[in-house]
Amino acid sequence: MRIAYLINQYPLVSHTFIRREIHALESLGFDVKRVAIRPPEPNYIDEQDELERLKTKSLLQSGVKAILLAIFKCLLTRPIYLFKTIYFALRMGFRSERGMFIHLIYVAEACLLYCWAKSWKIEHIHAHFGTNSTTVALFCHLLGGPRYSFTSHGPEEYDKPQAIGLSEKIKYSAFIAAITNFSRSQLFRWSNITDWQKIKIVHCGVDKRYLETQPIPVPEIKKLVCVGRLCEQKGQQLLVKAAANVIANGTIFDLVLVGDGEMRHEIETLIVSLGIEQHVKITGWASGDVVHEEIINSRGLVLPSFAEGLPVVIMESLALARPVISTYVAGIPELVHPKENGWLCPPSDVITLAQAMEEILSASTAELTRMGINGRELVMKNHNIQKEAEKLADAIQYCATDNLRQKN
C-alpha cells in the first residue's frame, strides 16, 4: 500500500520518532512517500536524518511555478472542489490566529499535494501534529484527494484548538492517533461524540537499538542529564536554579544539558551568574549516539517541562534502565511512576525538583538500577515502535478497505 507522510518540516533533530515510525511501516510492506511543507534544515548531526532528507520532497521548495501550475490544474479539472475548498478555508481562516490569507496559501499547497498524490497513486495521507500539516492534508482531501489521518501530540493543539480548527480536522479525518490517554481526552473535548471511535491510542516508540541494549547498572558517578530543545516550555532555567540549590546544600554533581535552542544564551548567562559553570555543561545539538551515551553514563534523566505531549527521550531513558525526574504534565504520569521508575514534581516548583535531584544523587546504584529496570519493562510493553506501527498500519488498512467497500 502506498501512503504519504506529511510533516511541517522533516527531518528534524527532534523528530527522530517520526523516522522510526516510517521505517517500521516500511518494514510492514508500506511504500511511504515523505512530504514536508517547508524545506528541511540544511545541516544534520545524524547520518540517518541526512538519508531521510534525500527521500523527502518539500512543497514550498518546489517553487512558485510548480504551485501555480498545480492550482491551474485543479481549476481546470475540479473547479467545484477547488471553490468549495477555498470557501471552507476562508471560513476556517476567519476565526484562526493566522488569518484567511495564510489559509489560502494552505489551499495552494494542498493543490500541489493533490497533484503529487495523484501522480504517485497515494491511497492515504498521514500527518504528524494537528497544526498546519494537517490543515494541508484536510484541504487536499476536500479537493478530492486521499483520505487522511493525523497524529496529535500536544501541547500546541490543545492550547488553541479553535484557532487551528481542531474540531473540523477530527470531523473530516479517517482516524486520529493520540499518543497518550491524556491526548485522547483532549481530542474528545473538541470532537463530536460520534467521532470518538476514530480516536485511537498509538504511542510513540523507541527503536530496537534501545530495546535490544541489555541493561547496564547505574554508574556511581554523580551525573544527571537533560535532553531537549533549550526553550521555555522545557524548564531548563528552573533546572539550573535547582542544580545550584543542590550544590549549595553540599551535594556536588555534574549536569549535562543535551540540546540547543532559542533560550541557550539566557541559560548560559544564568549558569555563570549562579557560579556553577564548572558543574553544568551544554553540548548543543547531538546525534542519537551521543544522546544514548550521555544517558547511559548518568544516574538518570531530568526533564522539568511545563508543557508536553509525552517526550520520547523519557522513553529512551527508561528503555536504557535509567530512572527519570519529570513533572505532572500531560501524558508524563502515564509513563513515569513515582518511586517505581522515577520522580514527579509539580511544574515550576524549584524546591521539589531540587529535593528529587538530591534523592536520585544520594540513592544507591542498586535502587536506581531497580527503578530503571521497572521503567524499561513498561517501555517495552507500551512503546515498542514495531508494535505501535502495527496499530497504525491496521487503522490505515481498515480505512482503505472501508473506502473500497463504499465505492462498490
Q: Average pLDDT of 222-226?
A: 98
Tell me the average pLDDT of the chain.
Answer: 94
pLDDT at 42: 67
Q: For the ranges 85-89, 94-98, 246-250, which has the lowest average pLDDT?
A: 94-98
What are the cell numbers at 160?
488553541
Higher pLDDT, 122 or 211: 122
Average pLDDT over residues 242-257: 98
Assess whether pLDDT exceeds 90 at residue 370.
Answer: yes
Q: Which residues contact 171 (CB under 8 A, 6 or more apart)?
A: 191, 192, 195
Closest listed residue to residue 182, CA positions, set 345, 309, 306, 304: 309
Band of residue 286 on the pLDDT scale cut at 50, 70, 90:
confident
The pLDDT tens digits for 1-60 are 999 999 999 998 888 899 999 999 999 999 999 999 998 776 655 788 889 999 999 999
Angle, CA of 243, 246 and 249, to the nearest 5°: 150
State which amino acid sits at residue 187: L
Q: Give exposure, 33-68, as e/b (b: 16+ Cβ within 10 Å).
A: bbbbbeebeeebebebbeebbeebebbbebeeeebe
Nearest by Cα to 113 from 91, 84, 85, 87: 85
Q: Is the Cβ–Cβ distance between 264 and 232 less than 8 Å?
A: no
pTM of the model as a whole: 0.93
Q: Answer whether 282's CB lies under 8 Å from 257's CB.
A: yes
Residue 72 has pLDDT above 60, yes or no: yes
Residue 149 scores a pLDDT above 90: yes
Q: Is the pLDDT of residue 407 over 70?
A: no
Distances (CA, A) of 34 to 19, 82, 131, 218, 376: 10, 24, 17, 39, 31
Q: Provide the edge-to-edge strand list for the sheet that holds 300-302.
A: 280-284, 254-258, 223-227, 300-302, 324-327, 342-345
Q: For residue 190, give the nearest of 175, 211, 168, 205 by alpha carbon.
A: 168
Q: Cis peptide before 11, with omega less than 30 degrees from 0?
A: yes
- pLDDT given at position 408: 47
Could you give the domains of the chain?
2-205+385-407 (3.40.50.2000), 209-382 (3.40.50.2000)
